[in-house]
C-alpha cells in the first residue's frame, strides 16, 4: 500500500509562461535582405586586389554575372513599393550593367591570366594610395588629419558594435570601400536571419544600423568615388564596376529611405596637417638650425668651416683682373 504525498497547490501566476515575441516570417522582406547582401558582396569582392585566381575564375566561369542577375531578379520580384519608382529604375540599370559585363568578360577577360587582372587593378588603383580615385572614405571631405581619425573611429565603432573585425588575410584599412561594402553585406545577411529567428526589436536594430551606415558613410563618399573611378578607369572591368556601384548606391538610398549629404568634387581635399589657429609646433632647435649646426656653433667649428669655404671659393674662382 502506498501512501499519497501531499500535493502542494501552485498558483497560476507561478506557472504562467512568459510569451516570446513571434519571429517575423515576412518572406519578401527576408528575400530582399538576403539578395541585397549578395550584391554588396559581389561589388566588395570585385574591388579588392586579386592576390589569387579565385575572383578571376569567378568572372571567367560566368558565375559573377549569373549570381548578380539572380539576386536582381529576386529583388525585382519582391521589391513591392519599397524605394518607389527610383529603386525600380536602378534595378533595371544594374541588369544592363551586368549585360555589358558579360560581353566584356567574353571578349576580353576570358583569356586573362592572373597577372592581367592584377595589372589592370594596378593601372587603375596603383600600388600606393592614388589620389585621383582613392577607395578610402577618410580621404573624402576630411581636410584635417584629426577629422580623419574621427571618421575612422566611427567606422570602427560600427564594426565593434556587431562583433566583426578586419580579417588578417585582407591587407586593407577599415575605411576601404571593399571592407565597408562587406560590412553592409554582413548587416543585410544578418537582417535576413533576424527576420526568421529573432523578434521585431532585434531586427529593427540591424535595419537602423544599415540606414545609419549608408546615410553617414558610404552614401556620402561612394558616389563621388564612382565618378572618379569611371574617369580614371575609362574602360574595362573597373569602369563597369564603378557604374554598377553608382547605380547600387542610388538603389540603396531609395530603398532604405535615407538622404545622405554626398560629397562633391569641391569637397575632395586629402587631409593635411594644419596647426590649430594661434598654435605653432617646433622641434627642439628649429629656430637655430638643425642639431648638427647647433653643435658646430657651440664648439666654434661652424665659423671655421665657413672661413674655409670662403677661402676655397676664392681659390676656385681664379685670378681676378683685366686683360
Q: How confident is the model at residue 269, as a pLDDT?
A: 67
Q: Which domain holds residue 52?
A: 27-267
How many distinct structural domains can be found in the chain?
A: 1
Between the alpha carbon of residue 306 and those of residues 139, 178, 292, 296, 303, the distances in Å are 46, 57, 14, 11, 5
> In 3-state terms, what secondary structure has residue 272?
strand
Matching residue, cell 560566368: 62
Q: What is the DSSP string of 153-221?
A: HHHHHHHHHTT----TT--S-TTBHHHHHHHHHHHHHHHHHHHHHS-HHHHHHHHHHHHHHIIIIIHHH
Closest CA to 44 of 130, 166, 142: 166
Q: What is the DSSP string of 206-270?
A: HHHHHHHHIIIIIHHHHHHHHHHHHHHH-SSHHHHHHHHHHHHHHHHHHHHT-------GGG---
SS3 content of the chain, % helix, strand, coil (to 5): 65, 0, 35
Does residue 181 lie within any of the structural domains? yes
Does residue 310 lie within any of the structural domains? no
- Cα torsion 45, 48, 54, 55: sign: positive
Residue-wise pLDDT for 60-89, tens only, equals 999 999 999 999 999 999 999 999 999 999
Reported confidence tier of residue 112, pLDDT bands at 50, 70, 90: very high
Reported confidence tier of residue 316, pLDDT bands at 50, 70, 90: low
Looking at per-residue pLDDT, the higher value among 323 and 267 belongs to: 267
8-state DSSP, 277: T
Residue 173 contacts residue 148 (beta carbons within 8 Å)? no
Q: What is the CATH number of the domain that holds 228?
A: 1.10.3480.10
Q: How confident is the model at residue 14, as a pLDDT?
A: 36
Q: What is the DSSP string of 40-64?
A: HHHHHHHHS---SSHHHHHHHTTHH
Does residue 300 lie within any of the structural domains? no
Residue 285 contacts residue 294 (beta carbons within 8 Å)? yes
Q: What global pTM score does this model have?
A: 0.75
What span, in angstroms and rounded, lies between the C-alpha atoms of 168 and 16?
49
Between the alpha carbon of residue 44 and those of residues 99, 176, 241, 285, the distances in Å are 19, 10, 10, 49
Q: How confident is the model at residue 133, as a pLDDT?
A: 87
Does residue 246 lie within any of the structural domains? yes
Matching residue, cell 519582391: 78
Reported confidence tier of residue 199, pLDDT bands at 50, 70, 90: confident
Residue-wise pLDDT for 238-280, tens only, equals 999 999 999 999 999 999 999 999 998 877 766 544 444 555 4
Beta bridge partners of 176: 136
Does residue 287 lie within any of the structural domains? no
Q: pLDDT above 90 covers what percent of the chain?
A: 62
CA angle centred on 167, ends 245 and 233, rounded to 5°? 30
Residue 75 contacts residue 91 (beta carbons within 8 Å)? yes
What span, in angstroms and rounded, lies between the C-alpha atoms of 232 and 225?
10
Amino acid at each position: 500500500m502506498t501512501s499519497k504525498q501531499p500535493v502542494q497547490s501552485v498558483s497560476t501566476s507561478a506557472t504562467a509562461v512568459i510569451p516570446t515575441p513571434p519571429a517575423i516570417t515576412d518572406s519578401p522582406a527576408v528575400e530582399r535582405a538576403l539578395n541585397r547582401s549578395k550584391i554588396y558582396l559581389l561589388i566588395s569582392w570585385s574591388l579588392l586586389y586579386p592576390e589569387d585566381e579565385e575572383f578571376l575564375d569567378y568572372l571567367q566561369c560566368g558565375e559573377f554575372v549569373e549570381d548578380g542577375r539572380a539576386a536582381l531578379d529576386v529583388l525585382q520580384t519582391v521589391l513591392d513599393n519599397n524605394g518607389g519608382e527610383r529603386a525600380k529604375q536602378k534595378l533595371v540599370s544594374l541588369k544592363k550593367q551586368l549585360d555589358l559585363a558579360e560581353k566584356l568578360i567574353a571578349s576580353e577577360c576570358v583569356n586573362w591570366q592572373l597577372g592581367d587582372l592584377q595589372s589592370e587593378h594596378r593601372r587603375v588603383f596603383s600600388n600606393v594610395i592614388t589620389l585621383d580615385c582613392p577607395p578610402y572614405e577618410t580621404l573624402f571631405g576630411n581636410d584635417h588629419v584629426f577629422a580623419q581619425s574621427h571618421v575612422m573611429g566611427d567606422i570602427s565603432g560600427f564594426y565593434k558594435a556587431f562583433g566583426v573585425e578586419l580579417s588578417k588575410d585582407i591587407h586593407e584599412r577599415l575605411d576601404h570601400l571593399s571592407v565597408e561594402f562587406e560590412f553592409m553585406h554582413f548587416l543585410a545577411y544578418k537582417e535576413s536571419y533576424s527576420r526568421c529567428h529573432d523578434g521585431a526589436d532585434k531586427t529593427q536594430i540591424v535595419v537602423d544600423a544599415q540606414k545609419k551606415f549608408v546615410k553617414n558613410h558610404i552614401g556620402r563618399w561612394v558616389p563621388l568615388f564612382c565618378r572618379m573611378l569611371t574617369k580614371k578607369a575609362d574602360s574595362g572591368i573597373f569602369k563597369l564596376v564603378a557604374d554598377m556601384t553608382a547605380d547600387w548606391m542610388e538603389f540603396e538610398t531609395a530603398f532604405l529611405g535615407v538622404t545622405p549629404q554626398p560629397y562633391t568634387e569641391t569637397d575632395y581635399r586629402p587631409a593635411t596637417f594644419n596647426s590649430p589657429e594661434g598654435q605653432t609646433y617646433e622641434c627642439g632647435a628649429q629656430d637655430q638650425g638643425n642639431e648638427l649646426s647647433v653643435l658646430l656653433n657651440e664648439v666654434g667649428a661652424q665659423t671655421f668651416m665657413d672661413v674655409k669655404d670662403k677661402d676655397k671659393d676664392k681659390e676656385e674662382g681664379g685670378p681676378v683682373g683685366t686683360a
